[in-house]
Structure 1
Amino acid sequence: MLHLRLNVPADLTDEVVRTLEATVGTAHLAVVPGASRNPAGDLVLCDVAREAGDELLGSLRALGLDRSGAIAVENIDLSLSKRAEKAEAEAPGEGVDAVLWEQLADATHEESTLTVTYVAFLTIATMLAACGVMLDNAILIVGAMAVGPEFGPLAGISTALVQRAPGLVWRSLTALVVGFAAAMLLTAGFGWLLDQLGLFDRAMLEADRPNTAFIWKPDWMSFVVAFLAGVAGTLSLTSAKSGALIGVAISVTTVPAAANAAMAFSYKEYAQTWGSSGQLLANLGGIVLAGVLTLLTQKSLLASVRRRRGPVR
């Protein structure tokens, strides 16, 4: 279930309440007249089944409530109510399969913004991965993959392509390209410093490295793994099961590939540089393609459910 808190101008309250009452899947409607001070008006509270949430939000935005008032949405972890159970049973589809496009767009917009924090996390992850590839340490590679924040911009690109939002596409691409460029440049400098300190040397990069050599030897399995991880990551975002993102993060070698490319370039090992770059592009492409196809499939399935069950009103 979702909890809606609406700040509604007084002249719009009746229409908003009628919309909520007519929506299958709503419960616990409450109106507190005059409680909203900014903007001035009424406070309207309501719970709605997740599977009816996206269409209801669309109806409220069609009334202009997002411009004249405010719409806040929260997830309800526990609701002990027969009315809530009835609302969820009446709403079309299943809550776990529902996609809140507004929530997804907002989440990916935030995660795909180029910020100092984003670049810092990506740089630290790439430096950790550099230590992993030079030491042939799989544990460090896994740790670096878990730290990397690159799935946010990738999800942003997928969402923007499906929603036809060019602004978000460019924002996400900027975060992805600039973030990786900065991380790889700083990692090359980090590698040079450790080389001067005697902690890294060329022999470490040229060694067999049985645990991490796959990072610069891409094949079709690299793309397959990235594709599957992209599907899982997208589902975790749309179903609010964020815990699955950790598994996604440690399934793909985006950050390790960037780290190996940076280290190989600094030592002029161009074969590894190109191989790692190919691995990086294969992973990025696989995740974006998987995200787009997953979102399109979900969109199609939800539309089919609504057609079978009729309108939510």
Structure 2
Amino acid sequence: MRLVQLTVPTGKRETILEELDERGIDYVLTDEESNRGYTAVVYFPLPDPAVEPVLDELQDVGVDEDAYTVVVDAETVVSRRFEALREEYENGDVETDRISRQELQSEADSLTPTFAVYAIMTIISAVVATAGLFLDSPAVVVGSMVIAPLIGPALGLSVGSVIDDEELFRESLRYQIIGILLAIGAAAVFALLVRVTNIVPPGLNISTVGEISERLAPDLLSLVIALGAGVAGIISIATGTAVALVGVMIAAALIPPAAAAGIAIAWGEPSAAIGATVLVLVNVLSVNLAGLLTLWWAGYRPENLFSLGETEQRVRRRVLGLAVIVLVFAVFLGAITYSSYTVSTFEENANEEAELLLSEGEFAEYQLLELNVIMDESYPFIGPQRVVVTVGGPPGEASPELADRLHERINQHTDEEVDVQVRYVGLVER
């Protein structure tokens, strides 16, 4: 429910009141003095889905954008006429629960801080995320998402496109581009500082840190996260629910991979930075694409119906452009996913071959203790580089033939030859 406070322009009092009476809307009128040609203020309650059509109709009868209009939440309205009004506008579809176009625009503006605050908070969140990645601490990484001010620009671009507010669109686009550059740059500078001051162990292999490595070789599930964040973000802003929590979800899709890209740059591994950078780009584009589609589906349109056709064409072009770019990146992520799948399959096959070989009669005295597949560092398309097989058996030396047979059977499952190293552990029965 909303309470609308509307200033009445000189000469429009009777017209506005007649419009409200025709709609069956209860109102209270107070006379006011103003230096801008307004003689009164009218207060009237409305169900959420009625705000946009009623304000549009009042604008059609002469209430222009210069009029002072305030829309606030109303906790409770007790009125038979209001209940009838609710039954008229609340028909159970998606437009029933959404806020008005006017409120949506204000909400998108309010979620975007000033540029100085946005830049500072983005840098801080990127630095905190970088520290969390080095510490391999999911809790610290989540903390970095909470302070990231990304929800406003991420959703403002979609809102500006759909309601034909090109100024909001351009500002949100600029914020997003600068935000990505700031996040990656701040992470790279901080990671370089950490490296040269030996805060982390010298010679640290970043691929061995779980929180970092998973973002250097992302897969298609990352795309699902970004699309979900975009849809949830728009639904939350359009219905006024859980906006802060969805902001954390959007930050989850952008800040940690940006920090991982900065770390890879600081470590002088540009190939490792490719996967994380692609993840950042595909996520931000997917959030915008999902936002555009969700807003249009929710029924938001520009205020001026004469610009509807032009806006619809522009939204269609932007959706098509974003979809094509996201599809290209999705193919790239699909290739990484397939690479990870082949590695996982190879590891499973290698383990199975080792167990089968050791179950044969000539090697029955041995048992498989552990099998590790060591990956190369050719990010983002990593592959097996070496297989270390730990075998236990009677005290003494292992059969020389065992290593050759393991090498032969394990390499049947890979296109490129992989080194196989056998470690023998003598077992003593007690």
Q: Distance in 2 between matches of 1:4 and 1:205?
A: 60
Q: Distance in 1 between matches of 2:56 and 2:90?
A: 16
Distance 1:38 1:246, change over 3 A: farther
Contact 2:126 2:187 in 1 (8 A): yes
* 1:74 alignment partner in structure 2: 72
Q: How does 1:146-157 map to 2 (within 5 A)?
A: 146-157=146-157
Distance 1:247 1:7, change over 3 A: closer
Residue type of the alignment partner of 1:37: S
Deviation at 1:4, TM superposition (A): 0.6
Residue type of the alignment partner of 2:297: T
Deviation at 1:58, TM superposition (A): 1.4
* 2:139 alignment partner in structure 1: 139
Distance 1:127 1:57, change over 3 A: same
Q: How does 1:37-186 map to 2 (within 5 A)?
A: 37-39=34-36, 40-94=38-92, 97-112=97-112, 115-186=115-186
Contact 2:112 2:149 in 1 (8 A): no
- Structure label with greater radius of gyration: 2
Q: Distance in 2 between matches of 1:61 and 1:145?
A: 41
Q: Distance in 2 between matches of 1:36 and 1:196?
A: 67
Q: SS of 2:299's equivalent?
A: helix
Q: SS of 2:57's equivalent?
A: helix
TM-score (norm 2): 0.64
Distance 1:104 1:202, change over 3 A: farther
Residue type of the alignment partner of 2:245: I
* 2:322 alignment partner in structure 1: none
Deviation at 1:97, TM superposition (A): 2.3
Q: Distance in 2 between matches of 1:217 and 1:163?
A: 37
Number of positions where the alignment pairs a residue of Structure 1 with one of Structure 2: 297
Unaligned 5+ residue runs, structure 2? 302-430
Residue type of the alignment partner of 1:199: I
Deviation at 1:42, TM superposition (A): 0.5
Contact 1:231 1:294 in 2 (8 A): yes
Deviation at 1:23, TM superposition (A): 2.8
Contact 2:3 2:74 in 1 (8 A): yes
Partner deviation per Cα, 1:181-231 (whole Å, 9 max, x = no partner): 223323332333333443235644524222443222222111112111211
Q: SS of 2:76's equivalent?
A: coil
Q: Which has the higher relative contact order, 1 or 2, with Cα contacts under 8 A spaced 6 or more apart? A: 1
Partner deviation per Cα, 1:147-178 (whole Å, 9 max, x = no partner): 21212111111112223333322111101111
Aligned identity (percent) is: 23
Contact 1:202 1:267 in 2 (8 A): no
Q: Distance in 1 between matches of 2:142 and 2:11?
A: 56
Q: Distance in 2 between matches of 1:300 and 1:247?
A: 20
Contact 1:215 1:276 in 2 (8 A): yes
Deviation at 1:138, TM superposition (A): 0.8
